[in-house]
Amino acid sequence: MRLVLVGTSHHHAPVELRERVALDREQARALAARLAAGGREAVCLSTCNRTELYLAAADAEAAERDAVAALAELEPEVEPALYRLRDHAAALHLFRVAAGLDSLVPGEGEILGQVRAAHQLGTTGIVLDRAFRQALHTGRKARAQTAIGESPASVSAAAAALAEQVFGDLEGRSILLVGAGKIGEQAARNLLSRRARIAFVANRTLDRAEELARRLRAEALPLERIEEELPRADVVVASTSAPGYVLDAAAVERALRKRRCRQLLLIDLAVPRDLDPAIHDLDGCYLYDVDDLEAIVAETLSGRRREAERAEAIVAAEAEKFRQWHAALDVVPAIASLRARAEEIREAELRKAEALLGRLDDGERRAVESITAQIVNKLLHLPTVRMKQAAAAADGVLYAEAVRHLFGLEDER
């Protein structure tokens, strides 16, 4: 089974393109199930920064074509921004993603949970299950053995840093939080740590807004009341999963008339975006999306880059372990067939000697069984080790074919 990856990320596509191929949990589950038809394995990893399709299939070319077609079906313009990786390169990329090394903010913590969720939602078998489990192990190991996960560890933290940069001091500044999910709460916690005040929490489901507002000591709002409270806010942080804009330029323009020239900072952490890009053109408004945060993040990354080098070494070692395991799959059937043939011969020869063996007591009979089994195991031990070593060096298929031919195993495939 070959490992195939097709995807796009913030390295290759702007947010306005990424948002068109972003998938929610059910869409990701359904797409993985569709791509897994015909005995394949498939996992869809979709976050704010990336949409990636991982497949394990006997026919890598066909799997790649189907993955490209699936993403192009969502948005035809995405095809030039797609990257395509296979086998070791695909696994190495996945391990780097899980370790936070491919994120907008290196070491960010959310991605590990997103990789775990994608694994759980996917249609996996022996290859993708092993790949994702080892990727999660690698991500945890990189965070435990390096300082790559130290602050700021997320886009939410970078958003708070941006707000502080714009206002100089966030003490007493009023925050309107649009979206009561995990990203919104993380942004709120980071803003609170910089002495801002969470004034309002707006959400499509009011119960969720009230629950988070209670923890943040804020006022809960339905989405319809955002415009009404805009004049009282200094910063708007949006992070819903709504399919369209929850706040357009016209609504913000009306609110600006009541603000008496006070500037308004709007940070859009959602993909697809929550805030109309035209808001940026209004006087007194500063709108930033997830891509705009990259400059803020860059100012804090010098120490993280040193830690990232150590994390890269961990990732490379774990990816090499996976490569060796994956390569060995090519020779496992040949090894199993060889051992089965040897055992078949051993048992047949013992049956031929039944007249002689029948004179032995149970202890002596067991000793003969043990000795002959040990002979077979010792004879096959070195060929088994050499075949696995050859597989790791890319010669495994040749060795497997030679063994099948020499021992007449061709008909057992």
Domain range annotation of the chain: 2-151, 155-298, 332-412
3-state DSSP call for residue 312? helix
Give 285's Cβ-side CA count (13 Å radius): 27
DSSP bridge partners of 238 = 178, 268
Tell me what pLDDT residue 326 has: 83
Neighbours of 412 (CB within 10 A): 14
Whole-number Å distance between alpha carbons of 171 and 315: 41
- What does the alpha-carbon distance between residue 331 and residue 383 come to, in Å, rounded to a whole number? 11
Cβ neighbours of residue 201 closer than 8 Å, sequence gap 6 or more: 177, 180, 184, 188, 209, 212, 213, 216, 218, 219, 220, 221
DSSP letters of 106-157? TT-SHHHHHHHHHHHHSB--HHHHHHHHHHHHHHHHHHHHSSTTPSS-SHHH
Q: Are strands 41-46 and 50-57 parallel, antiparallel or unpaired?
A: antiparallel
pTM of the model: 0.65
The answer to whether the beta carbons of residues 201 and 218 sit under 8 Å apart is yes
Is omega for the bond preceding 272 within 30 degrees of 0, making it cis? yes
- Whether residue 91 contacts residue 131, with contact meaning beta carbons closer than 8 Å, is answered with yes
- Residue 131, judged by CB atoms within 10 A of its CB (0-12, 13-18, 19+), counts as buried
Q: Which residues pair with 85 in a beta bridge?
A: 5
Question: Among candidates 107, 242, 249, 257, which has minimal Cα distance to 184?
Answer: 242
Spell out the CATH class of 155-298.
alpha beta
Angstrom distance (rounded) from CA 396 to CA 204: 56
* Residue 308 tokens, joined: 């990232």
* 27, burial (CB in 10 Å: exposed 0-12, middle 13-18, buried 19+): middle
d(CA 315, CA 138): 6
SS3 43: strand
Which distant-in-sequence residues (6+ apart) come within 8 Å of 63 by Cβ? Answer: 2, 4, 35, 40, 55, 57
What is the residue type of 320?
A: E
Residue 174 bridge partners (DSSP): 197
**Per-residue pLDDT for the chain (413 aa), expressed as one digit of tens each?**
899 999 999 999 999 999 999 999 999 999 999 999 989 999 999 998 899 999 999 999 999 999 999 999 999 999 999 999 999 999 999 999 999 999 877 777 789 999 999 999 999 999 999 999 999 999 999 999 988 876 555 678 888 888 888 888 899 899 999 999 888 898 999 899 889 999 999 999 999 999 999 999 999 999 999 999 999 999 999 999 888 899 999 999 999 888 877 889 999 999 889 999 999 999 989 999 988 876 666 666 666 677 888 899 999 999 999 988 887 776 777 777 888 888 888 888 888 888 888 788 888 888 988 999 999 899 888 887 877 777 666 666 677 777 777 777 765 55
Q: How many helices (H) and strands (E) does the chain have?
A: 17, 10
Beta strands in 318-400 (DSSP E): none
Let me know: does 154 contact 186? Beta carbons within 8 Å.
yes
CA-closest candidate to residue 277, choices 296, 252, 256: 252
The alpha carbon dihedral of 139, 143, 146, 149 has a sign of: positive
Token couple for 263 = 């500037």
| Active site annotation includes 261 | no
Q: Which of 44, 48, 261, 285 is catalytic?
A: 48
d(CA 376, CA 293): 63
Beta strands in 223-327 (DSSP E): 235-238, 264-268, 285-289
Q: How far is 123 from 30, CA to CA, in rounded Å?
A: 10
The class (CATH top level) of 2-151 is: alpha beta
The residue length of the chain stands at: 413
